[in-house]
Structure 1
Amino acid sequence: TLEIGADGVLVDSSIKEARKIKELIEEISTEKLKLQTVEITGIKQVGMGDRVCIDTCSIFNVGEGMLVGSQSSALFLVHSETIETPYVATRPFRVNAGPVHAYTRMPDGSTKYLSELGAGDEILAVDWKGNTKAMVIGRLKIEKRPLILIEAEFNGKKLKTLVQNAETIRLVDKKGKAVSVVDLKKGDEVLAYVEEKGRHFGIAVDESIEEK
Protein backbone atom coordinates (compact mmCIF):
# COMPACT_ATOMS: atom_id res chain seq x y z
CA THR A 1 0.00 0.00 0.00
CA LEU A 2 2.83 2.42 0.78
CA GLU A 3 4.29 1.87 -2.70
CA ILE A 4 1.18 1.90 -4.87
CA GLY A 5 -1.49 3.60 -2.73
CA ALA A 6 -4.99 2.51 -1.82
CA ASP A 7 -7.89 1.93 -4.21
CA GLY A 8 -10.22 3.77 -1.85
CA VAL A 9 -10.85 4.95 1.69
CA LEU A 10 -13.74 3.81 3.90
CA VAL A 11 -15.10 6.72 5.96
CA ASP A 12 -17.38 6.09 8.93
CA SER A 13 -19.37 9.33 8.96
CA SER A 14 -22.57 11.01 7.85
CA ILE A 15 -23.42 11.74 4.21
CA LYS A 16 -22.84 15.44 4.92
CA GLU A 17 -19.31 14.78 6.20
CA ALA A 18 -18.58 12.45 3.29
CA ARG A 19 -19.57 15.21 0.86
CA LYS A 20 -17.21 17.63 2.61
CA ILE A 21 -14.37 15.12 2.25
CA LYS A 22 -15.21 14.68 -1.45
CA GLU A 23 -15.17 18.47 -2.00
CA LEU A 24 -11.85 18.77 -0.17
CA ILE A 25 -10.26 16.04 -2.31
CA GLU A 26 -11.53 17.71 -5.49
CA GLU A 27 -10.15 21.08 -4.34
CA ILE A 28 -6.73 19.61 -3.59
CA SER A 29 -6.54 17.74 -6.89
CA THR A 30 -7.44 20.69 -9.14
CA GLU A 31 -4.91 23.08 -10.64
CA LYS A 32 -5.07 26.82 -10.01
CA LEU A 33 -3.91 29.01 -12.88
CA LYS A 34 -2.60 32.55 -12.73
CA LEU A 35 -4.65 34.58 -15.19
CA GLN A 36 -3.26 37.84 -16.52
CA THR A 37 -5.01 41.07 -17.40
CA VAL A 38 -4.37 41.82 -21.08
CA GLU A 39 -5.24 44.95 -23.05
CA ILE A 40 -7.36 44.82 -26.19
CA THR A 41 -5.53 46.41 -29.13
CA GLY A 42 -7.79 45.53 -32.04
CA ILE A 43 -11.11 44.00 -33.11
CA LYS A 44 -11.78 43.14 -36.75
CA GLN A 45 -14.45 41.26 -38.70
CA VAL A 46 -12.80 38.52 -40.78
CA GLY A 47 -15.59 36.63 -42.55
CA MET A 48 -17.01 33.14 -42.14
CA GLY A 49 -15.50 30.09 -40.46
CA ASP A 50 -16.33 26.79 -38.78
CA ARG A 51 -17.17 27.65 -35.17
CA VAL A 52 -17.20 25.09 -32.33
CA CYS A 53 -19.73 25.06 -29.49
CA ILE A 54 -18.72 22.71 -26.67
CA ASP A 55 -21.70 21.26 -24.81
CA THR A 56 -20.62 19.64 -21.55
CA CYS A 57 -22.37 17.20 -19.22
CA SER A 58 -22.17 19.73 -16.36
CA ILE A 59 -23.42 23.21 -15.54
CA PHE A 60 -21.02 26.14 -15.59
CA ASN A 61 -21.23 28.86 -12.96
CA VAL A 62 -21.30 32.55 -13.83
CA GLY A 63 -17.67 33.64 -14.15
CA GLU A 64 -16.58 30.27 -15.57
CA GLY A 65 -15.62 29.30 -19.08
CA MET A 66 -12.75 27.84 -21.06
CA LEU A 67 -9.29 29.02 -22.07
CA VAL A 68 -9.17 29.39 -25.85
CA GLY A 69 -6.83 31.11 -28.29
CA SER A 70 -5.06 31.11 -31.63
CA GLN A 71 -1.70 30.76 -29.86
CA SER A 72 -1.04 27.87 -27.48
CA SER A 73 0.84 30.22 -25.16
CA ALA A 74 -1.95 32.82 -24.97
CA LEU A 75 -5.45 31.62 -24.16
CA PHE A 76 -8.36 33.97 -23.48
CA LEU A 77 -11.03 33.14 -20.89
CA VAL A 78 -14.17 32.66 -23.00
CA HIS A 79 -17.27 32.81 -20.80
CA SER A 80 -19.92 30.10 -20.73
CA GLU A 81 -23.46 30.79 -21.95
CA THR A 82 -24.79 31.34 -18.44
CA ILE A 83 -25.86 34.97 -18.93
CA GLU A 84 -29.48 35.70 -19.78
CA THR A 85 -30.15 37.82 -22.86
CA PRO A 86 -33.28 38.98 -24.71
CA TYR A 87 -32.01 37.18 -27.83
CA VAL A 88 -31.60 33.53 -26.81
CA ALA A 89 -32.15 31.30 -23.80
CA THR A 90 -29.18 30.45 -21.61
CA ARG A 91 -27.22 27.27 -22.29
CA PRO A 92 -25.32 26.96 -18.99
CA PHE A 93 -23.64 23.73 -20.11
CA ARG A 94 -22.09 25.39 -23.19
CA VAL A 95 -19.09 27.43 -24.24
CA ASN A 96 -19.16 28.93 -27.73
CA ALA A 97 -15.41 28.56 -27.90
CA GLY A 98 -14.20 29.64 -31.32
CA PRO A 99 -13.09 28.28 -34.70
CA VAL A 100 -11.84 24.74 -35.30
CA HIS A 101 -8.16 25.81 -35.40
CA ALA A 102 -8.14 27.31 -31.90
CA TYR A 103 -6.33 25.78 -28.94
CA THR A 104 -7.86 25.04 -25.56
CA ARG A 105 -6.12 24.01 -22.35
CA MET A 106 -6.85 20.49 -21.13
CA PRO A 107 -7.07 19.13 -17.56
CA ASP A 108 -3.63 17.49 -17.87
CA GLY A 109 -1.96 20.82 -18.76
CA SER A 110 -1.64 20.08 -22.48
CA THR A 111 -3.47 21.89 -25.27
CA LYS A 112 -5.65 20.52 -28.05
CA TYR A 113 -7.28 21.99 -31.12
CA LEU A 114 -11.03 22.41 -30.73
CA SER A 115 -11.42 20.21 -33.81
CA GLU A 116 -9.74 17.32 -31.96
CA LEU A 117 -12.31 17.20 -29.17
CA GLY A 118 -15.30 14.88 -29.05
CA ALA A 119 -18.02 13.40 -26.86
CA GLY A 120 -16.61 11.71 -23.78
CA ASP A 121 -13.43 13.82 -23.69
CA GLU A 122 -12.72 16.03 -20.70
CA ILE A 123 -12.18 19.78 -20.99
CA LEU A 124 -10.85 22.25 -18.43
CA ALA A 125 -13.35 24.68 -16.96
CA VAL A 126 -11.74 27.81 -15.51
CA ASP A 127 -13.23 30.65 -13.48
CA TRP A 128 -12.06 34.27 -13.36
CA LYS A 129 -9.99 33.60 -10.23
CA GLY A 130 -8.06 30.80 -11.96
CA ASN A 131 -9.81 27.91 -10.22
CA THR A 132 -10.20 24.89 -12.48
CA LYS A 133 -12.16 21.67 -12.79
CA ALA A 134 -12.63 18.98 -15.40
CA MET A 135 -15.91 18.58 -17.30
CA VAL A 136 -16.98 15.85 -19.70
CA ILE A 137 -18.04 16.80 -23.23
CA GLY A 138 -21.50 15.67 -24.27
CA ARG A 139 -21.23 16.87 -27.87
CA LEU A 140 -19.62 19.38 -30.20
CA LYS A 141 -21.59 21.60 -32.56
CA ILE A 142 -19.59 22.84 -35.55
CA GLU A 143 -21.40 25.40 -37.70
CA LYS A 144 -20.42 28.11 -40.18
CA ARG A 145 -20.65 31.51 -38.50
CA PRO A 146 -19.26 35.05 -38.99
CA LEU A 147 -16.05 35.56 -37.02
CA ILE A 148 -14.14 38.43 -35.48
CA LEU A 149 -10.43 38.63 -34.73
CA ILE A 150 -9.57 39.92 -31.25
CA GLU A 151 -6.03 41.16 -30.66
CA ALA A 152 -4.49 42.03 -27.30
CA GLU A 153 -1.12 42.70 -25.71
CA PHE A 154 0.60 41.66 -22.48
CA ASN A 155 4.12 42.82 -21.59
CA GLY A 156 4.89 43.39 -25.27
CA LYS A 157 3.54 39.97 -26.32
CA LYS A 158 0.83 40.07 -28.98
CA LEU A 159 -2.14 37.76 -28.34
CA LYS A 160 -4.89 36.73 -30.75
CA THR A 161 -8.08 34.74 -30.85
CA LEU A 162 -11.12 34.48 -33.09
CA VAL A 163 -14.69 34.07 -31.91
CA GLN A 164 -18.15 34.15 -33.39
CA ASN A 165 -19.38 37.68 -34.05
CA ALA A 166 -22.41 37.62 -31.74
CA GLU A 167 -23.53 39.50 -28.63
CA THR A 168 -23.86 36.24 -26.68
CA ILE A 169 -20.12 35.51 -26.91
CA ARG A 170 -18.23 36.98 -23.97
CA LEU A 171 -14.76 37.35 -22.56
CA VAL A 172 -14.16 38.12 -18.87
CA ASP A 173 -12.67 41.23 -17.26
CA LYS A 174 -10.40 41.33 -14.20
CA LYS A 175 -13.39 41.75 -11.86
CA GLY A 176 -15.06 38.62 -13.19
CA LYS A 177 -17.63 40.45 -15.30
CA ALA A 178 -18.58 38.86 -18.62
CA VAL A 179 -18.10 41.31 -21.50
CA SER A 180 -19.79 40.77 -24.87
CA VAL A 181 -17.32 40.69 -27.75
CA VAL A 182 -19.50 43.09 -29.74
CA ASP A 183 -18.97 45.69 -27.00
CA LEU A 184 -15.18 45.28 -26.82
CA LYS A 185 -13.04 48.25 -27.79
CA LYS A 186 -9.37 49.18 -27.81
CA GLY A 187 -8.04 49.75 -24.32
CA ASP A 188 -10.44 47.34 -22.62
CA GLU A 189 -8.86 44.76 -20.32
CA VAL A 190 -9.78 41.07 -20.21
CA LEU A 191 -8.36 37.90 -18.66
CA ALA A 192 -6.05 35.45 -20.41
CA TYR A 193 -3.59 32.71 -19.51
CA VAL A 194 -0.15 33.61 -20.85
CA GLU A 195 3.00 31.50 -20.75
CA GLU A 196 6.45 31.73 -22.30
CA LYS A 197 6.94 28.15 -23.49
CA GLY A 198 6.01 26.96 -26.95
CA ARG A 199 4.24 23.66 -27.60
CA HIS A 200 4.66 20.64 -29.85
CA PHE A 201 1.64 18.35 -30.18
CA GLY A 202 0.09 20.16 -27.21
CA ILE A 203 3.05 19.58 -24.86
CA ALA A 204 5.02 22.55 -23.47
CA VAL A 205 8.66 22.64 -24.64
CA ASP A 206 11.60 24.92 -23.90
CA GLU A 207 11.94 26.14 -27.45
CA SER A 208 11.43 29.41 -29.28
CA ILE A 209 8.18 29.08 -31.23
CA GLU A 210 6.36 32.04 -32.76
CA GLU A 211 2.67 31.83 -33.63
CA LYS A 212 1.19 34.86 -35.39
Structure 2
Amino acid sequence: MQKVFWVRLAAFERDLVTTALESGADALVLPDGCTEKVHELGRITVIAPDGDRRLGLEVRECHIRQKSDEDAVVANGGRVPTLITNRDWTTIPLENLIARTDNVIQTVKDLRQAELALTTMEKGAAGICLETESAVDIRAVGALVRRVANEKLELVRAGVESTEPVGVADRVCVDTAAILQPGQGLLAGNTSTAFFLVYNENVESPYCDPRPFRVNVGAVHAYIRLPENKTGYLAEIRAGSRVLICDAKGNTFPLAVGRAKIEKRPMLLVRASVEEKPVSLIMQNAETIRLTRPDGEPISITELRPGDEILAYGEAGGRHFGTRIEETITER
Protein backbone atom coordinates (compact mmCIF):
# COMPACT_ATOMS: atom_id res chain seq x y z
CA MET A 1 0.00 0.00 0.00
CA GLN A 2 1.38 3.40 -0.98
CA LYS A 3 2.24 5.72 1.90
CA VAL A 4 2.29 9.52 1.81
CA PHE A 5 5.62 11.18 2.63
CA TRP A 6 5.61 14.87 3.57
CA VAL A 7 8.49 16.97 4.88
CA ARG A 8 7.89 19.97 7.14
CA LEU A 9 10.51 22.72 7.23
CA ALA A 10 10.58 25.74 9.52
CA ALA A 11 11.83 27.91 6.65
CA PHE A 12 12.83 27.61 3.01
CA GLU A 13 16.25 25.98 2.77
CA ARG A 14 17.36 25.17 -0.73
CA ASP A 15 19.45 22.11 0.19
CA LEU A 16 16.70 20.55 2.30
CA VAL A 17 14.05 21.18 -0.36
CA THR A 18 16.31 19.58 -2.98
CA THR A 19 16.94 16.60 -0.70
CA ALA A 20 13.20 16.16 -0.17
CA LEU A 21 12.62 16.21 -3.93
CA GLU A 22 15.38 13.66 -4.51
CA SER A 23 14.08 11.44 -1.68
CA GLY A 24 10.62 11.11 -3.19
CA ALA A 25 8.66 13.42 -0.88
CA ASP A 26 5.06 13.91 -1.99
CA ALA A 27 4.69 17.36 -0.44
CA LEU A 28 6.46 20.05 1.56
CA VAL A 29 4.81 21.81 4.50
CA LEU A 30 6.20 25.35 4.71
CA PRO A 31 5.45 28.84 6.05
CA ASP A 32 3.88 31.52 3.90
CA GLY A 33 5.96 32.97 1.07
CA CYS A 34 7.96 29.85 0.14
CA THR A 35 5.87 28.29 -2.62
CA GLU A 36 7.34 30.13 -5.59
CA LYS A 37 10.90 29.39 -4.45
CA VAL A 38 10.11 25.69 -4.14
CA HIS A 39 8.51 25.52 -7.59
CA GLU A 40 11.66 27.03 -9.09
CA LEU A 41 13.54 23.92 -7.89
CA GLY A 42 11.06 21.28 -9.02
CA ARG A 43 7.46 20.11 -9.26
CA ILE A 44 6.18 19.16 -5.82
CA THR A 45 3.03 19.96 -3.85
CA VAL A 46 3.50 22.75 -1.32
CA ILE A 47 1.22 22.89 1.71
CA ALA A 48 1.27 26.48 2.95
CA PRO A 49 -0.96 29.54 3.28
CA ASP A 50 0.04 30.46 -0.30
CA GLY A 51 0.62 26.88 -1.41
CA ASP A 52 -0.97 24.37 -3.73
CA ARG A 53 -2.91 23.05 -0.73
CA ARG A 54 -3.74 25.16 2.30
CA LEU A 55 -3.71 24.12 5.93
CA GLY A 56 -7.19 24.43 7.34
CA LEU A 57 -8.85 23.95 3.95
CA GLU A 58 -7.41 21.21 1.70
CA VAL A 59 -5.41 19.84 4.64
CA ARG A 60 -6.54 19.83 8.27
CA GLU A 61 -4.15 19.96 11.21
CA CYS A 62 -5.03 18.66 14.65
CA HIS A 63 -2.99 18.60 17.86
CA ILE A 64 -3.87 15.48 19.84
CA ARG A 65 -3.98 16.32 23.54
CA GLN A 66 -7.05 14.41 24.69
CA LYS A 67 -9.77 12.03 23.55
CA SER A 68 -12.00 14.82 22.22
CA ASP A 69 -9.23 15.75 19.75
CA GLU A 70 -9.34 12.22 18.37
CA ASP A 71 -13.11 12.51 18.01
CA ALA A 72 -12.66 15.71 15.99
CA VAL A 73 -10.34 13.91 13.56
CA VAL A 74 -12.81 11.05 13.18
CA ALA A 75 -15.64 13.52 12.53
CA ASN A 76 -13.76 14.67 9.43
CA GLY A 77 -14.48 11.24 7.97
CA GLY A 78 -11.22 11.16 6.01
CA ARG A 79 -12.59 13.64 3.47
CA VAL A 80 -9.33 15.59 3.45
CA PRO A 81 -5.92 14.59 4.87
CA THR A 82 -5.55 15.33 8.57
CA LEU A 83 -2.05 16.13 9.80
CA ILE A 84 -1.82 15.15 13.46
CA THR A 85 0.78 16.11 16.02
CA ASN A 86 1.30 14.88 19.57
CA ARG A 87 2.91 16.86 22.36
CA ASP A 88 4.41 13.65 23.78
CA TRP A 89 4.68 11.22 20.87
CA THR A 90 3.02 7.89 21.65
CA THR A 91 1.41 5.28 19.46
CA ILE A 92 -1.87 5.00 21.39
CA PRO A 93 -3.63 8.02 19.81
CA LEU A 94 -2.51 6.86 16.37
CA GLU A 95 -3.76 3.33 17.03
CA ASN A 96 -7.14 4.75 18.03
CA LEU A 97 -7.33 6.85 14.86
CA ILE A 98 -6.22 4.03 12.54
CA ALA A 99 -9.00 1.88 13.97
CA ARG A 100 -11.64 4.58 13.45
CA THR A 101 -10.78 6.58 10.31
CA ASP A 102 -8.52 7.00 7.28
CA ASN A 103 -6.38 9.68 5.65
CA VAL A 104 -4.36 10.41 8.80
CA ILE A 105 -0.84 11.83 8.36
CA GLN A 106 1.28 11.45 11.51
CA THR A 107 3.95 14.03 12.34
CA VAL A 108 7.28 12.37 13.19
CA LYS A 109 10.68 13.67 14.24
CA ASP A 110 13.04 10.85 13.29
CA LEU A 111 13.43 7.45 11.63
CA ARG A 112 12.29 5.47 14.68
CA GLN A 113 9.03 7.40 14.98
CA ALA A 114 8.50 7.12 11.22
CA GLU A 115 8.80 3.34 11.30
CA LEU A 116 6.36 3.07 14.21
CA ALA A 117 3.82 5.34 12.50
CA LEU A 118 3.97 3.38 9.24
CA THR A 119 3.64 -0.06 10.84
CA THR A 120 1.36 0.50 13.86
CA MET A 121 -1.39 -2.15 13.96
CA GLU A 122 0.19 -3.63 10.78
CA LYS A 123 -1.77 -1.12 8.68
CA GLY A 124 0.00 2.07 9.75
CA ALA A 125 -0.98 5.67 9.14
CA ALA A 126 -1.86 6.80 5.62
CA GLY A 127 1.43 8.65 5.69
CA ILE A 128 3.92 10.62 7.71
CA CYS A 129 5.12 14.21 7.88
CA LEU A 130 8.78 14.42 8.86
CA GLU A 131 9.53 17.59 10.83
CA THR A 132 13.28 18.03 10.53
CA GLU A 133 16.28 20.16 9.65
CA SER A 134 18.42 17.16 8.71
CA ALA A 135 19.09 16.07 5.13
CA VAL A 136 20.29 12.71 6.48
CA ASP A 137 16.94 12.09 8.17
CA ILE A 138 15.03 13.07 5.02
CA ARG A 139 16.97 10.53 2.95
CA ALA A 140 16.62 7.78 5.56
CA VAL A 141 12.89 8.28 6.06
CA GLY A 142 12.31 8.54 2.30
CA ALA A 143 13.99 5.16 1.84
CA LEU A 144 11.91 3.72 4.69
CA VAL A 145 8.63 4.92 3.15
CA ARG A 146 9.49 3.29 -0.17
CA ARG A 147 10.46 0.05 1.54
CA VAL A 148 7.33 -0.13 3.70
CA ALA A 149 5.03 0.75 0.80
CA ASN A 150 6.40 -1.89 -1.57
CA GLU A 151 4.40 -5.11 -1.79
CA LYS A 152 6.00 -8.47 -1.10
CA LEU A 153 4.45 -11.10 -3.35
CA GLU A 154 4.59 -14.86 -2.96
CA LEU A 155 5.70 -16.32 -6.28
CA VAL A 156 5.17 -20.02 -6.96
CA ARG A 157 6.47 -22.66 -9.34
CA ALA A 158 4.33 -23.29 -12.40
CA GLY A 159 4.79 -26.39 -14.53
CA VAL A 160 4.90 -25.73 -18.27
CA GLU A 161 2.26 -27.70 -20.18
CA SER A 162 2.63 -26.48 -23.76
CA THR A 163 3.70 -23.73 -26.14
CA GLU A 164 1.68 -23.10 -29.28
CA PRO A 165 2.14 -20.60 -32.14
CA VAL A 166 -1.01 -18.49 -32.56
CA GLY A 167 -0.10 -16.34 -35.55
CA VAL A 168 0.57 -12.62 -35.81
CA ALA A 169 -0.89 -10.23 -33.22
CA ASP A 170 -0.18 -6.93 -31.48
CA ARG A 171 2.65 -7.20 -28.95
CA VAL A 172 3.53 -4.63 -26.26
CA CYS A 173 7.10 -3.76 -25.23
CA VAL A 174 7.31 -1.73 -22.02
CA ASP A 175 10.36 0.53 -21.78
CA THR A 176 10.79 1.65 -18.18
CA ALA A 177 12.45 4.86 -17.03
CA ALA A 178 15.25 3.05 -15.17
CA ILE A 179 17.81 0.29 -15.67
CA LEU A 180 16.44 -3.02 -14.43
CA GLN A 181 18.64 -5.51 -12.60
CA PRO A 182 19.07 -9.20 -13.45
CA GLY A 183 16.04 -11.15 -12.25
CA GLN A 184 13.64 -8.23 -12.40
CA GLY A 185 10.66 -8.03 -14.71
CA LEU A 186 6.91 -7.58 -14.98
CA LEU A 187 4.01 -9.84 -14.00
CA ALA A 188 1.60 -10.48 -16.87
CA GLY A 189 -1.04 -13.04 -17.79
CA ASN A 190 -4.01 -13.78 -20.01
CA THR A 191 -6.28 -13.58 -16.95
CA SER A 192 -6.49 -11.17 -14.03
CA THR A 193 -5.64 -13.81 -11.43
CA ALA A 194 -2.59 -15.62 -12.82
CA PHE A 195 0.66 -14.07 -14.05
CA PHE A 196 4.10 -15.11 -15.27
CA LEU A 197 7.22 -13.18 -14.27
CA VAL A 198 8.47 -11.89 -17.64
CA TYR A 199 12.23 -11.27 -17.56
CA ASN A 200 13.72 -7.96 -18.69
CA GLU A 201 16.02 -7.67 -21.72
CA ASN A 202 19.37 -7.29 -19.94
CA VAL A 203 20.60 -10.66 -21.23
CA GLU A 204 23.46 -10.78 -23.75
CA SER A 205 22.35 -12.19 -27.10
CA PRO A 206 24.07 -12.75 -30.46
CA TYR A 207 20.95 -11.36 -32.13
CA CYS A 208 20.58 -7.94 -30.48
CA ASP A 209 22.11 -5.67 -27.86
CA PRO A 210 20.74 -5.79 -24.30
CA ARG A 211 17.99 -3.34 -23.43
CA PRO A 212 18.01 -3.50 -19.61
CA PHE A 213 15.19 -0.95 -19.33
CA ARG A 214 12.83 -3.04 -21.48
CA VAL A 215 10.39 -5.87 -20.88
CA ASN A 216 8.87 -7.47 -23.98
CA VAL A 217 5.71 -8.48 -22.17
CA GLY A 218 2.96 -9.89 -24.34
CA ALA A 219 -0.19 -9.28 -26.36
CA VAL A 220 -2.31 -6.14 -25.96
CA HIS A 221 -5.17 -7.92 -24.18
CA ALA A 222 -3.00 -9.29 -21.37
CA TYR A 223 -3.26 -8.10 -17.80
CA ILE A 224 -0.23 -6.54 -16.12
CA ARG A 225 0.16 -6.23 -12.36
CA LEU A 226 0.34 -2.58 -11.23
CA PRO A 227 1.17 -0.89 -7.91
CA GLU A 228 -1.41 -0.67 -5.11
CA ASN A 229 -2.77 -4.15 -5.84
CA LYS A 230 -4.24 -3.14 -9.19
CA THR A 231 -4.05 -4.48 -12.71
CA GLY A 232 -4.33 -2.94 -16.14
CA TYR A 233 -4.35 -4.05 -19.76
CA LEU A 234 -1.06 -3.90 -21.60
CA ALA A 235 -2.79 -1.84 -24.29
CA GLU A 236 -3.38 0.90 -21.68
CA ILE A 237 0.29 1.32 -20.71
CA ARG A 238 1.90 4.51 -21.99
CA ALA A 239 4.55 7.11 -21.09
CA GLY A 240 4.01 8.17 -17.49
CA SER A 241 2.17 5.00 -16.43
CA ARG A 242 3.49 3.32 -13.29
CA VAL A 243 4.11 -0.41 -13.38
CA LEU A 244 5.12 -2.87 -10.68
CA ILE A 245 8.63 -4.27 -11.04
CA CYS A 246 9.06 -7.68 -9.42
CA ASP A 247 12.04 -9.98 -8.86
CA ALA A 248 12.27 -13.73 -8.35
CA LYS A 249 11.92 -13.37 -4.57
CA GLY A 250 8.70 -11.38 -4.86
CA ASN A 251 10.26 -8.04 -3.96
CA THR A 252 8.49 -5.23 -5.81
CA PHE A 253 8.63 -1.50 -6.42
CA PRO A 254 6.70 0.94 -8.62
CA LEU A 255 8.44 2.43 -11.65
CA ALA A 256 7.49 4.96 -14.31
CA VAL A 257 7.16 3.95 -17.94
CA GLY A 258 9.07 5.93 -20.53
CA ARG A 259 7.45 4.39 -23.59
CA ALA A 260 5.25 1.50 -24.66
CA LYS A 261 5.63 0.05 -28.16
CA ILE A 262 2.86 -1.89 -29.88
CA GLU A 263 3.96 -3.82 -32.97
CA LYS A 264 2.67 -6.76 -34.98
CA ARG A 265 4.74 -9.86 -34.27
CA PRO A 266 4.39 -13.66 -34.50
CA MET A 267 3.06 -14.83 -31.15
CA LEU A 268 3.26 -17.91 -28.95
CA LEU A 269 0.75 -19.09 -26.35
CA VAL A 270 2.53 -20.36 -23.23
CA ARG A 271 0.41 -22.57 -20.98
CA ALA A 272 1.35 -23.75 -17.49
CA SER A 273 -0.38 -24.72 -14.27
CA VAL A 274 0.00 -24.40 -10.52
CA GLU A 275 -1.75 -27.22 -8.65
CA GLU A 276 -4.08 -27.70 -11.63
CA LYS A 277 -4.86 -23.97 -11.82
CA PRO A 278 -4.05 -22.63 -15.30
CA VAL A 279 -1.58 -19.82 -16.01
CA SER A 280 -1.05 -18.56 -19.55
CA LEU A 281 0.24 -15.67 -21.61
CA ILE A 282 0.48 -14.88 -25.32
CA MET A 283 4.01 -13.60 -25.96
CA GLN A 284 6.18 -12.75 -28.94
CA ASN A 285 7.54 -15.90 -30.56
CA ALA A 286 11.27 -15.08 -30.40
CA GLU A 287 14.35 -16.48 -28.67
CA THR A 288 15.06 -13.15 -26.92
CA ILE A 289 11.77 -13.28 -24.98
CA ARG A 290 12.24 -14.87 -21.58
CA LEU A 291 10.36 -16.02 -18.52
CA THR A 292 11.95 -16.70 -15.13
CA ARG A 293 13.11 -19.98 -13.61
CA PRO A 294 12.60 -20.64 -9.86
CA ASP A 295 16.30 -19.85 -9.26
CA GLY A 296 15.81 -16.40 -10.80
CA GLU A 297 17.60 -17.21 -14.05
CA PRO A 298 15.96 -16.45 -17.42
CA ILE A 299 14.72 -19.06 -19.87
CA SER A 300 13.82 -18.28 -23.48
CA ILE A 301 10.24 -19.15 -24.34
CA THR A 302 11.53 -20.96 -27.45
CA GLU A 303 13.39 -23.36 -25.12
CA LEU A 304 10.40 -24.17 -22.92
CA ARG A 305 9.39 -27.81 -22.77
CA PRO A 306 6.54 -29.56 -20.93
CA GLY A 307 7.59 -30.15 -17.34
CA ASP A 308 9.88 -27.12 -17.11
CA GLU A 309 9.24 -24.91 -14.10
CA ILE A 310 8.83 -21.14 -14.28
CA LEU A 311 7.77 -18.52 -11.74
CA ALA A 312 4.17 -17.39 -11.51
CA TYR A 313 1.93 -15.39 -9.22
CA GLY A 314 -1.71 -16.12 -8.49
CA GLU A 315 -4.63 -14.33 -6.84
CA ALA A 316 -8.18 -15.21 -5.87
CA GLY A 317 -11.33 -13.35 -6.91
CA GLY A 318 -11.65 -11.08 -9.91
CA ARG A 319 -11.07 -7.54 -11.13
CA HIS A 320 -13.38 -4.65 -11.95
CA PHE A 321 -11.61 -1.83 -13.83
CA GLY A 322 -8.34 -3.09 -12.36
CA THR A 323 -9.51 -3.17 -8.74
CA ARG A 324 -9.67 -6.49 -6.96
CA ILE A 325 -13.17 -7.66 -6.02
CA GLU A 326 -14.61 -10.71 -4.31
CA GLU A 327 -16.71 -12.18 -7.09
CA THR A 328 -17.00 -15.46 -8.94
CA ILE A 329 -15.46 -14.83 -12.37
CA THR A 330 -14.39 -17.51 -14.82
CA GLU A 331 -11.55 -16.60 -17.20
CA ARG A 332 -10.01 -19.07 -19.62
Q: TM-score, normalised by structure 2?
A: 0.61
Aligned pair partner of 1:42 in 162, 174, 194: 162
Unpaired runs of 5+ residues, structure 2, are 1-82, 85-103, 108-128
Shift of 1:19: 4.3
8 Å Cα contact 2:318/2:328 also seen in 1: yes
Give 1:12's aligned residue. 134
Aligned pair partner of 1:196 in 305, 313, 316: 316
Give 2:219's aligned residue. 99
2:287 aligned with 1:186, yes or no? Answer: no
Offset from partner CA, 1:85-106 (integer Å, 9 cap, x none): 1111111111101010000011
Offset from partner CA, 1:82-137 (integer Å, 9 cap, x none): 11111111111111010100000110111100001111110000000000011101
8 Å Cα contact 2:168/2:265 also seen in 1: yes
8 Å Cα contact 2:181/2:202 also seen in 1: yes
Give the distance between the partners of 1:9 and 1:48, measured in 2 at CA: 56
2:221 aligned with 1:73, yes or no? Answer: no
Over 3 Å counting, the alpha-carbon distance change for 1:90 and 1:11 in structure 2 is farther
Give the distance between the partners of 1:55 and 1:168, measured in 2 at CA: 15
Offset from partner CA, 1:176-199 (integer Å, 9 cap, x none): 011110100000000111112121
The within-5 A match list for 1:54-93 is: 54-93=174-213
RMSD: 1.5
2:248 aligned with 1:128, yes or no? Answer: yes
Structure 2 counterpart SS, 1:63: coil
Over 3 Å counting, the alpha-carbon distance change for 1:130 and 1:49 in structure 2 is same
2:262 aligned with 1:142, yes or no? Answer: yes
Give the distance between the partners of 2:217 and 2:199, measured in 1 at CA: 8
Shift of 1:201: 1.6
Give 2:326's aligned residue. 206
Aligned pair partner of 1:111 in 197, 221, 231: 231
Give the distance between the partners of 2:237 and 2:192, measured in 1 at CA: 16
Offset from partner CA, 1:136-158 (integer Å, 9 cap, x none): 01111110000000000111111
Structure 1: which amino acid aligns with 2:158? V
In the alignment of these two chains, the number of paired residues is 210
8 Å Cα contact 2:270/2:282 also seen in 1: yes
Over 3 Å counting, the alpha-carbon distance change for 1:11 and 1:34 in structure 2 is farther
Identity in percent? 43
Give 1:175's aligned residue. 295
8 Å Cα contact 2:130/2:138 also seen in 1: no
Give the distance between the partners of 1:22 and 1:11, measured in 2 at CA: 14
Structure 1 counterpart SS, 2:207: coil
Structure 2 counterpart SS, 1:88: coil
Structure 2: which amino acid aligns with 1:42? S
Structure 2 counterpart SS, 1:162: strand
Unpaired runs of 5+ residues, structure 1, are none
Higher fraction of helix: 2
Offset from partner CA, 1:49-97 (integer Å, 9 cap, x none): 0000001111111000000010110010000111111111111111101
Give the distance between the partners of 1:203 and 1:23, measured in 2 at CA: 27
2:272 aligned with 1:163, yes or no? Answer: no
Give the distance between the partners of 2:326 and 2:194, measured in 1 at CA: 16
Q: TM-score, normalised by structure 1?
A: 0.94
Give the distance between the partners of 1:116 and 1:22, measured in 2 at CA: 30
Which consecutive aligned stretches of 4+ in structure 1 deviate over 3 angstroms post-superposition? 3-9, 17-22
